[in-house]
Amino acid sequence: MQFIDEVKIWVKGGDGGRGSVSFRREKFIPRGGPNGGDGGKGGDTILIAREGLSTLLDLRYQQHYRAKNGAHGRGKNQQGKSAENLIIPVPLGTVVKDKETGEILKDLTQEGERFLTAKGGRGGRGNARFATSTRQAPRFAEPGEKGEERWLQLELKLLADVGIVGHPNIGKSTLLRRVSAARPKVADYPFTTLVPSLGVVSYGEHKTFVMADIPGLIAGAHRGTGLGMRFLRHIERTLLLVHLMDISTDPQGDPWSHYEEINEELGKFHPALLEKPQVPVLNKIDLPEVRERIPHVKDSFRRHGVDLFAISAVTGEGVDEVVREIGQRWEKIKKATYG
């Protein structure tokens, strides 16, 4: 299925039904009074969050949503039927914005959570409503109110506990495949991952967290270079970041500079991302040229006050230790954040 995480839609509530102009015409009842009924209410358009959805794809191909109008009133004081609401399902994590102002209207993060996007119009009153002692035969009724309408911008932000960030082709997808049942594409060329992937990771007895593999970041990602800017929003909800690194393609390079480069992109996209705790991890230690540099690289990070883990996502070496560390840190952060 194609992954779509941003769409715009037009929504309109149904119009209210018009009131009826009618008079009683029954045998043996002269001068029958007004008996025009009220119109029915137009339907509302409502967004509802559903767990089974993972993309906004359906809304990409159908952008206009109009609820049905209320039925018109009729004689004999018969009120028009109110229209049913139009329910639009969206994935958990959908942020609803006003297209014109950019204002965030709602963040749908719970199963079954609803948001009224456009209210249906009230039905018009029939002429029976306007009868008085001095106006016993009103020959008018109200039209129904128009339903609200607006353009909305919907953005999907994945609901993940932990996000994996780093340069392209450093083994993020391989790591996610190693620690979970997720099966993102793995290949030996950059930007293999074109969409974020989610996996459930076990780290203890009956303990799990959700990990997201974010497509590779490169210098200038915050300006739209590569795929980074499009998908950086998906780590805004995470509590912890796994910062994966690979020095196999640049044996003499400075790993700390690569680490800072990615953090610079995160900060330029949104400063709050730099405040998220990180677990720095050096990958591909199964390669001899990487393994022999582990002590030097760890010393480099230690001088900056950062503890570095070393793993091989391919062979699994060191992965269990990192997963336990991630789970324990995430659990502490979650408790401190939400209690």
Q: What is the DSSP string of 131-192?
A: --SS--S----PPPPPPPEEEEEEEE----SEEEE-STTSSHHHHHHHHSS------SSTT-
In a domain, 306, yes or no: yes
Domain annotation covers residue 1: no
The pair of structure tokens assigned to 248 is 């196999």
pLDDT for position 61? 86
Range of the domain at 40: 6-156
The pLDDT score that the predictor gives to residue 195 is 63
Task: Indicate whether 225 and 78 sit together in one domain.
Answer: no
Q: Does one domain contain both 169 and 151?
A: no
Q: What are phi and psi of 214, to 5 degrees?
A: -95, 130
Q: Clarify whether residues 58 and 132 are in a common domain.
A: yes
Q: Which two tokens stand for residue 194?
A: 């074109």
| Closest to 173 (Cα-Cα) out of 161, 190, 160, 155 | 190
- Other C-beta atoms lying within 10 Å of the C-beta of residue 291: 14
C-alpha–C-alpha distance, residues 301 and 305, integer Å: 7
Which pLDDT tens digit goes with each residue over 121-152?
A: 999 999 999 999 888 889 999 999 999 999 99
185 and 132 within one domain: no
User: Are both 150 and 174 inside the same structural domain?
Assistant: no
**Span 244-284, pLDDT tens digits:** 988 887 766 678 888 888 888 788 878 888 889 999 999 99
Is residue 186 packed enough to be buried (19+ CB in 10 Å), middle (13-18) or exposed (0-12)?
middle
CATH number (domain holding residue 22): 2.70.210.12
- The whole-number pLDDT of residue 71 equals 97
Give me the CATH number covering residue 214.
Answer: 3.40.50.300
Specify the pLDDT at position 139: 92
Q: Name the pairing type of β-strands 240-245 and 278-282.
A: parallel
Q: What is the pLDDT of residue 41?
A: 97
Query: Same structural domain for residues 108 and 190?
Result: no
| pTM tops 0.75, yes or no | no
Residues 137 and 229 in one domain: no
pLDDT at residue number 129:
93
Q: What is the mean pLDDT of the chain?
A: 86
Residue 221 — very low, low, confident or very high, per pLDDT cuts 50/70/90? very low
**Are residue 122 and residue 226 in the same domain, yes or no?**
no
Question: Which residue among 126, 156, 186 closes a domain?
Answer: 156
Q: Phi first, then psi: give them for residue 84, nearest 5 degrees.
A: -75, 150
Answer left, alpha or beta for residue 206, where phi above 0 means left and psi between -120 and 50 means alpha.
left
212: Cβ–Cβ under 8 A, 6 or more apart, which residues? 158, 160, 162, 163, 164, 196, 197, 198, 234, 235, 238
Q: In this structure, are residues 15 and 145 in contact, taking their beta carbons and an 8 Å threshold? A: yes
Question: Which two structure tokens, joined as six digits, stand for 219?
Answer: 């210098």
Domain count, the chain: 2
Q: What is the pLDDT of residue 191?
A: 39
Query: Are both 37 and 84 inside the same structural domain?
Result: yes
Domain stops at, among 156, 177, 210: 156
Report the alpha-carbon distance of residue 148 to residue 13 in Å, rounded: 5
Amino acid 282: pLDDT: 93
Bridge partner residues of 29 (DSSP): 26
Here the tokens at position 33 are: 């009074």
How far apart are the C-alpha atoms of 330 and 260, rounded to whole Å? Answer: 22
Token couple for 206: 């009956």
